[in-house]
Amino acid sequence: MTAADGPDPDLLGRVFLTRVIEPGDEVGGRWVREFGVGEVVRRLRNGGEALPGVSEVRWAGLVARARRAEPERDLDVARRAGARFVGPQDVEWPRQLDDLGDARPLGLWVRGRAGLRMWALRSVAVVGARACTEYGTHVAATLAGGLAERGWVVVSGGAYGIDGAAHRGALAARGATVAVLACGVDRPYPRGHAALIDRIADQGLVVGELPPGDHPTPSRFILRNRVIAALTRGTVVVEAAHRSGSLSTARAAQRLGRFTMGVPGPVTSALSAGVHELLRGEATLVTDTAEIIELVGDMGELAPVRRGPVLPRDLLEPAARAVLAALPGDRAATAADIALGARTTRDEAIARLYELRALGYVERHGDGWKLTRQAVMSVRTGRAPC
């Protein structure tokens, strides 16, 4: 907003265009890039010669929409709902959205006190199926909570299932989360998430391309997903069937050069089939927060090396381990036979056998050596012999 003379013309023009041009319309985006906001608005308002790239029928439909557009009213409705309009010329605009080219949003309606640009710089998308399993809900909430605790912003679509679990996980950790809606930010959708979306607006941000009061459609959900992918450093898909809409977010992330990650599930679950297909391609398998941050974070933010438990015999010197491995499990053996099995000399084998006896692994049986009962049990349980 400017001072005494009302809204900035470019901002007002972009608000106007959000009423006329559908999200992700690359033809409309090209018009804005080539002719400028003001000229596109003028041509649509006058309803004269069509701009290039559309049929007469489509142009007539856009002109009809333009006649009903009231940008000043939309700004007023948004203001009363606690929302603002952010365009590419604003300081708050996340520059990574420019990677979408002509499919870049004309602007974004934003509810919440935080600055969208700063939050988007350190954000991860967590998305997945609406009809998810308890496993998916648990994983999404756990990952989102872990990311929030590490200072990352969790971005999702506000939908039922994985989206809702991700938002709640971040909120429960007193962290930051952003819901990107496929409708006006003043009318939460789905209705059952009205309280959740209001809470996100209080503690985080609610974002959308569509003007106040506009409703979602199937195509708008798919197009919304490109914004989620572009805003964030990477996208994690927790559960998704082969035809899940959340896979479009992952594919958009891949096209934009963002990190694409998937959480594996049971091979018998249809809700993990889409994720597994991603993992067979260029997506990276992740199982916890540390592995996600290793990909999207700064240099040196590495996940810990995964190892199995250290067994007592792992702490033995290599020569002693070789002698121990050469002892039969069910009978005694001579030092000469043990030396052959360990590929060492008889004297070396005897020296190591006395070490192992002191540690409780072996005992003398006449002229031979045998594993102690405790040593046999330690091989089975991983515990040290008493």
pLDDT of residue 2: 43
Task: Identify the CA nearest to 197 among candidates 158, 160, 165.
Answer: 158
Q: Is the pLDDT of residue 256 over 50?
A: yes
Segment 254-259 shows an average pLDDT of 96
Reported confidence tier of residue 4, pLDDT bands at 50, 70, 90? very low
pLDDT of 3 over the 50 cut: no
For residue 310, pLDDT over 80 is answered with no
Average pLDDT over residues 173-200: 95
Determine the average pLDDT of the residues in 299-310. Answer: 64
Residue of 354, 353, 321, 360 lying closest to 337 (CA atoms): 353
Report how far residue 302's alpha carbon sits from residue 317's, in angstroms, rounded to the nearest whole number.
30
At 255, the pLDDT band (50, 70, 90 cuts) reads very high
Question: What mean pLDDT is predicted for residues 93-103?
Answer: 97
- Checking if the pLDDT of 379 tops 60, the result is no
Structural domains of the chain, with CATH: 9-69 (no CATH), 95-296 (3.40.50.450), 312-381 (1.10.10.10)
Task: Determine the pLDDT at residue 145.
Answer: 97
Does pLDDT of 1 surpass 50? Answer: no
Quickly count: other Cβ atoms within 10 Å of residue 26's Cβ: 13
> Tell me, what's the pLDDT at 384?
52
d(CA 330, CA 84): 78
User: Of residues 72 and 305, which shows the higher confidence score?
Assistant: 72
Query: How much is the average pLDDT of 262-274?
Result: 95
Neighbouring-strand partners of residue 262: 237, 285
Return d(Cα 148, Cα 169) in angstroms, integer.
Answer: 8
Lowest mean pLDDT among 11-15, 34-38, 173-177, 316-320: 316-320
CA-CA-CA-CA torsion sign (324, 326, 331, 332): negative
Contact (CB, 8 A) for 181 and 189: yes
Using a pLDDT cut of 90, give the percent of the chain over it: 82
pLDDT at 123 over 80: yes
- Burial class of 135 by CB neighbour count within 10 A (0 to 12, 13 to 18, 19+): middle
Give pLDDT, residue 329: 83
Q: Is the predicted pLDDT of residue 206 greater than 60, yes or no?
A: yes
Mean pLDDT of the chain, nearest integer: 91
What does the pLDDT look like over 18-57, one tens digit per residue? 999 999 999 999 999 999 999 999 999 998 789 999 999 9
Provide the pLDDT confidence category of residue 373 given band limits of 50, 70 and 90: confident
Q: Tell whether pTM > 0.95.
A: no
Q: What is the mean pLDDT of residues 287-312?
A: 78
Question: Quick one: average pLDDT of 195-200?
Answer: 97
At 383 the pLDDT is 54
pLDDT digits (tens, 9 = 90+) for 127-168: 999 999 999 999 999 999 999 999 999 999 999 999 999 999
